[in-house]
Chains A and B, each alone.
Chain A
Amino acid sequence: MSVQDPNRRDYELAGALDREFSVEEVAQSITEAELPAEELEAPVVSEEGAVEGAVEAAEAAAAVRYRWVSGRYVSCPRPWELTVRVDIDGRNPKKKVSGDYFRVSGKTKVYFGSFIVHSPAIYVSSTMVTIIGVATTTWATSYRKIRVRIPRHYVTQPPATAEVRWMTLTNRLGARYVCPFESYYFRTVYLEQDHEKGISPFNAYNTGSLPSGGPARILNVSRSYREAGVDMRNAGFTNEVPPAPGGSWSNGELHTAMENHFRYWRDVPQWKVWLFHANRHEMGSGLYGIMFDQKGKQRQGCAVFYTGVGGTTADRLRLQLYTTVHELGHCFNLFHSFHKKYMDPPLPNRPSSLSWMNYPWYYPHGGATGFWNAFPFQFDHLEIIHLRHAFYNNIVFGGNPFGKGAALELTGDFAEAAEDESGLQLELRAPRPFAFGEPVVVEAKLGLTDLRGKEVADRLHPNDGFVQIAIQKPGGEVIPYEPPMDQCSEVKSVQLDAKRPAIYESAYIGYDKNRGQVFDQPGVYRVRGAYFATDGSIVLSNVLSVRVRPPLKAEDQEVGELLLGDEQGMLFFLLGSDGPSLKPGNEAMEEVVAKHAKHPLAVYAKLVQGFNLSREFKNLEADNTMSTRKPRREDAQTLLNQVVSDSKGEAGLDNISLNMTMRRLAQVQVEAGAKTKAKETMKQMVNLFSRKKLPAHVMAVIKEQAKL
């Protein structure tokens, strides 16, 4: 093992595939005096007991062989899982340290943030490697100085464990993590390769078959990425896919093929990617390959077309290798060498780059011939740094859209889970678009994905705190929905199992504690929920698109505005109130019922008034006297009957709200002494919902509710 010139502090590391670099070669020279006192665990001594610097340590190290310290280390989770990537020795070291944080809660793991340390200081002794630097983080923190300590182990010993300590820039100590070694590779990804019927997919190419710029070796897709530090493993499943409809593939058809044939496909960020070996794209034989996945969670699949690259000669195999690695490079969010300026954020173009991401025929020094003669079958320096050290969402398949670099990170409770073994699934639904001014009620369904069963809290309404809702308005503003009042009520547990696999609840989310009316403009809103399970898991829902239609007629505008006031929002939340401060809202509701009784939205005013009149209302006056308004049961029944009648078709209330209304109507009828009417109402409820073809377990609950 050669020793670096001690006078030379800036030395070349990049490019060499056939050379390993020791940590001594990479490290800066040190003396005992340069280390802060708290960094010294023991004097920097050799086995002989003399105090030595880096050069002397290297000479001692030359007598024995130490393991590389570079690689991936992962802390034991709870509540934070830290993955640290140390890149300071070994093959083609980039002198970086980077990492990702995931927050572990119950059976869910949610990405939190990433960091990178450029050009850390490296201190080497015969027993310890110490790496110190200031990190760039994706979250705000004053603890940006990081110290990583890795004991030096011989190759005959198992890999060492890394200790990570965060500090402020003034060395105030922060969190400490113990991270056992996981891999010499910086990332591990899984590749599934499928092929169109009739296509013989590429296998491997000997780079010594034709002139090139690097050492001769057998390369396939996986080995090409392993040389960059990414452990690309075959997922082990290969499908033969029927030929393209019409003989060529469109991007939409490729995406459908991926959804149907990629065993691991899910619309979430994950380290799994699909490569499809196909015949021809609809663009013609001039398209050799494409990263077609630019919808939903992007960059999960790519395709190579053998009309353009097929063949068995050495140059064709070389082209197949090149195209497959190139397209997968796009899945890792790499742009062409000559298009780097179009990334977000932009980088300078590198048209002379001898990289998988260039076009050989665009190479400015001799075109394709010049390129192939010099190409070492590698990514370039900055691309390797991206592959090894990019922030998680900028690289993971299904992360940021293609081309987006350090975009706004979605962290916190609404970040996509990297792992979800909670056994639960939360689904939000809205029956149809909403009219202008219509109270927005969404249905929440908490269901099992693990039919062995799960005990859950029986509350899905945001009022009770187990479900949180985030709403993105048409203009882009994201609101974490807060109900106007918090509710502390007895929480019961229910057992979800094969017989009862889901619970349901509807929630009015139109009025927010801080912002008032939320859905006050026509447009498309996006709504997402998070359920906080009793084991700490955070279960995210789908993203529900809620469309509020613009008013079509003058009456629509008038009724919509009558229902959109602050007081009206509060009345919808409370389902009615005689509260004096809400008088303007009640007057608006009365105007809707009186003047616009036939309008479709009048059902909501009748609902609020009907519920309110079905209850007594106690008013504590300013002089501490109590006045009580008795329930007006006859009026309540009239209004609630109209609500039920208006909701029997497609218009009116959603199913859960209608069920709630019919049960309240029956209760009012019982209180009014009309038990026969109440039984008839419950019979009507069972018949009505029977016609809606609901799941059996839902009908079982409804029939149970109908028993007075």
Chain B
Amino acid sequence: MTQALGDAMVTLKIDLQAGFSGDRVQVLVDGETILEADEVSTDYSIGHAASAETEVEPGSHQVEIRVPAKQVSESVSVTVEGPVFVGVSLDDGRLEVRVSEQPFIYL
């Protein structure tokens, strides 16, 4: 369903998942910081470290994740029509990103 400009904002949620261990992490959407946290660590009983959520207009948005101390960052473009969920893991010095239209499930 296409939404016109000025229609209701849509949820964009970023989950930091596996591979984080006491890291300082920044999450930006369209250049604006929506999460900046120290000591981000993964709880491996569920595989989740932290979450950040924002409301955006439908359309294309740039999501960037930075781990400054490890000099890694990753930027993805997501097209938001309905709620979008972005999962980020840190693996072997690289950020892996997956995008889903369904919320991530943890157990």
Contact = CB atoms under 8 A, between A and B. Distances in A.
Interface of A: 283, 286-292, 294, 308, 323, 326-327, 330, 335-336, 339, 342, 359, 361, 402-403
B107 A292 contact: no
A311 to B, nearest CB: 15
Contact of B105 (A291, A339, A361, A403): A361
Contact of B45 (A288, A291, A308, A359): A291
A289 B46 CA distance: 8
Given A283-B48, A287-B107, A323-B107, 7 more contacts: A287-B106, A289-B107, A290-B45, A290-B107, A291-B45, A339-B47, A342-B19
A327 B44 contact: no
Given A342-B18, A342-B19, A342-B42, A336 B105 contact: no
Interface in B46-66: 46-48
B103 A336 contact: no
A287 B45 CA distance: 11
B106 A326 contact: no
Contacts of A330: 45
Contacts of B74: none
Contacts of B46: 287, 290
A342 B107 contact: no
B107 A326 contact: yes
Nearest to B92: A341
B43 interface: yes
In the complex, which of the residues B19, B44, B48 has the most CB atoms of chain A within 10 Å of its own CB atom? Answer: B44
Contacts, number: 43
Contacts of A292: 45
Contacts of B45: 290-292, 294, 330, 402
B103 A286 contact: yes
For chain A, what secondary structure do more than half of its interface residues adopt (helix, strand, loop), or is it mixed? Answer: loop
Interface string B90-107: 000000000000011111
A326 B106 CA distance: 11
19 contacts: A283-B106, A286-B105, A286-B106, A287-B46, A288-B105, A288-B107, A290-B106, A292-B45, A327-B107, A335-B44, A336-B44, A336-B47, A339-B18, A339-B44, A339-B47, A342-B18, A342-B42, A402-B45, A403-B44
A323 B107 CA distance: 7
Contacts of B42: 342
Nearest to A288: B107
A273 to B, nearest CB: 14
Nearest to B85: A286
A694 to B, nearest CB: 43
A342 B18 CA distance: 9
B44 A308 contact: no
Interface in B9-36: 18-19
B24 to A, nearest CB: 19
Contacts of A359: 105, 107
A286 B44 contact: no
Contacts of A289: 107
Contacts of B107: 287-290, 323, 326-327, 359
Contact of B104 (A286, A290, A326, A336): A286
A339 B90 CA distance: 12
Contacts of B106: 283, 286-288, 290
Nearest to B15: A286
A192 to B, nearest CB: 19
A442 B103 CA distance: 53
A281 to B, nearest CB: 9
A88 to B, nearest CB: 33
A327 B47 CA distance: 13
Given A342-B18, A342-B19, A294 B105 contact: no
B7 to A, nearest CB: 25
